[in-house]
Amino acid sequence: MSNMLSTPHTAPLRSPQRRTLLRAIASLSLPGALAACGGGSISFGGGVDPAPAPVNQTLPGTAAMKVRTFNGGWAVLAEKLLPLANVLRPERQLVLTDADTLRTSTYKPPAGWSLLDFAVHPSTDITVVLGTDRTVRLVRLSRHGATLAQGDFTDALAATDPYLGDPQQIRDSTALLPHATRDAARISAMGEDVIMALRTGRNAVLAYRLRQTTGGGVQTVWRTLVEPGVTIGSVFLTSGTFDPFGGLVNQWHVHLDVDDRGAVAIAVNLNVTELLEGHIDYFKDGLDASVASGVLVTRLDASGARLRTTLVDTVQKSELHALRWVGNSVVVGGRVRTEQSPDGHGWNGYLSVVQDNGPALQRALPLNVDRGDVILDIAPMRDGRMLLAGATGYWQNPAGASISEEAAPLLAIADAQGRFVRRIAVTPGPRHNQLRSLAPWKGDWLLGGLANGPGTHTADGNPALLFADGFVRQAAA
């Protein structure tokens, strides 16, 4: 990214040798691309004949942002990469694949709507959440993408939720999404119901348990205020075409996960917000108001009752990108600027394991693998450790926000405390690489991500360079 508006312009960071642009995903050299590193291995494919071929799905021109599995198939959220001027309205589609027939189907939202997230139910039905600039809709799909039911979600109370910020920031108190981005709603399955977390037009964070009726209506089972509305700042750039890690809207996002017991975890980032002050003022739960950067992690039980909020201190400026239940703990991860290094390698990944009865304030653990690092997803392993996905080997303008075109895929293992154990080597494709999502699959893993993507300034002179090669690949553990 280029500089923030409030800082002097610095020339964008560029790779000294730009690699040849290859659009074909076959150029990734992914068969056998995962090799042992530090005493372990996760490798693509394999098996003894007549075992079925490993999953190897390409999504040309898009990025695989989220992959989830169900009995007999998988679903992937495929996103078109957009220039900065268009990122407030994401363009996504849901690609569904039947493992037995390799039949694929695609669900695209109707005109004027953005697909924000999806959840897979035990029945293998799938719910997607759609948004406009101010409204939200739930659509129930079959595993092959047929629409089973759809209904608009409404919440008359949203216009009256507490707001502790600058009133001039409120554009529309009745809106169910904030003015800065539609991408502020996430859903997860609780049986055949849906848990939804979103940020409203008053910047409040709400959680709901929702039930769709056969006629398409959306019934609210419970509603919980997670955070009051507060002032949220915007991040502007002086130049550049693309935002590789979504840093411009990270402060508006909500993160959600639901475990098998029905326990709900919701996390929000503190940077560029007055969220911590508003939280303390409203809930009066004694959190440390001196923390400048970090994450608020809130647990709810299956009935929607608030259990507790934990403050994760990242010390320095940070972004939240991942949230998962791992056993009885909630694990959050992302990236943190630990130093403003002249070579641009001052960003590291971080993890924080928030235990059920842990302290109300805890420090994040930095994760430094190779120059710049970011954790984009976390998945529990059978032995209690965690598999991490993200990107590494990038650099960022130390005086601003330009992110390099060159970035390598990151796959790593952390122990149950969130401490780095080892990196698992993955052969990178050209240009910018990211592993975005992890999902268990028949004793192995499905990895969703992108290669051949742009950096902040890749497409400045040529819009045709704003693309990526998305993929879903099977990895044997």
Whole-number pLDDT of residue 48: 46
Q: Which residue has the higher pLDDT, 235 or 125?
A: 125
Query: Residue 158: helix, strand or coil by DSSP?
Result: helix
> What is the domain count for the chain?
1
How much is the average pLDDT of 229-239? 91
> How confident is the model over 74-124, as pLDDT tens digits?
999 999 999 998 889 999 999 999 998 889 999 999 999 999 999 999 999
SS3 79: strand
Mean of pLDDT values over 180-197: 98
Fill in the DSSP letter of residue 442.
T
> How confident is the model at residue 42, as a pLDDT?
38
Average pLDDT over every residue of 277-283 = 98
Question: Is 80 exceeded by the pLDDT of residue 8?
Answer: no
pLDDT of residue 298: 98
Mean pLDDT across the stretch 387-416? 95
Can the peptide bond before residue 52 be classed as cis, meaning omega within 30 degrees of 0? Answer: no
In-domain check, residue 398: yes
- Domain membership of residue 96 (yes or no) is yes
| Element (DSSP H or E) covering residue 477 | none
Question: What pLDDT shows up at residue 11?
Answer: 34
Residue 164 pLDDT class (50, 70, 90 cuts): very high
If you average pLDDT over residues 287-292, what whole number do you get? Answer: 97
pLDDT of residue 191: 97
Q: Both tokens of residue 455? A: 């950096």
What percent of the chain lies above the pLDDT cut of 70? 89
Mean pLDDT over each residue of the chain, to the nearest integer: 89
Q: Rounded to whole angstroms, how far apart are CA atoms 204 and 290?
A: 22
Residue 307 lies in a domain: yes
125 close to 142: Cβ distance less than 8 angstroms: yes
- What whole-number distance in Å separates Cα of residue 77 and Cα of residue 63? 8
Burial class from Cβ neighbours inside 10 Å (0-12, 13-18, 19+) for residue 245 reads: buried
Three-state secondary-structure class, residue 294: strand
> How do residues 15-53 score in pLDDT, each as one tens digit?
333 333 333 333 333 333 333 333 333 333 444 445 678
Give a yes or no: residue 6 inside a domain.
Answer: no
Provide the pLDDT for residue 447: 97
Asked if the structure places residue 262 within a domain, the reply is yes
Model pLDDT, residue 312: 98
pTM for the complete prediction?
0.90
Phi-psi region of 269 (alpha: psi -120 to 50; beta: other; left: phi over 0): beta
Domain containing 171: what range?
33-476
Query: Span 268-282, mean pLDDT?
Result: 97
Is 315 a domain residue? yes
- Assign residue 181 the CATH number of its domain: 2.130.10.10
| Coil, helix or strand at residue 154 | coil
Q: Is the pLDDT at 7 greater than 90, yes or no?
A: no
69 in a structural domain: yes
Separation of alpha carbons 368 and 392, rounded Å:
9
Residue 87 has what pLDDT? 81
pLDDT, residue 53, reads: 86
Of residues 47 and 389, which shows the higher confidence score? 389
Q: Are strands 432-441 and 73-80 parallel, antiparallel or unpaired?
A: unpaired
Residue 259 CB contacts under 8 Å (≥ 6 apart), including other chains? 265, 325
340 or 258, which is more confident?
Answer: 258
- In tens, the pLDDT along 314-363 reads 999 999 999 999 999 999 999 999 998 898 999 999 999 999 989 999 99
Angle 430-235-287 from CA coordinates, rounded to 5°: 110
Query: What is d(CA 352, CA 412) in angstroms, rounded to the nearest whole number?
Result: 15
Q: Tell me which residue of 174, 64, 63, 183 sits closest to 115, measured CA to CA.
A: 183
Q: Name residues whose C-beta falls within 8 Å of residue 11's C-beta, 6 or more positions apart in sequence.
A: none
Establish if 25 belongs to a structural domain: no
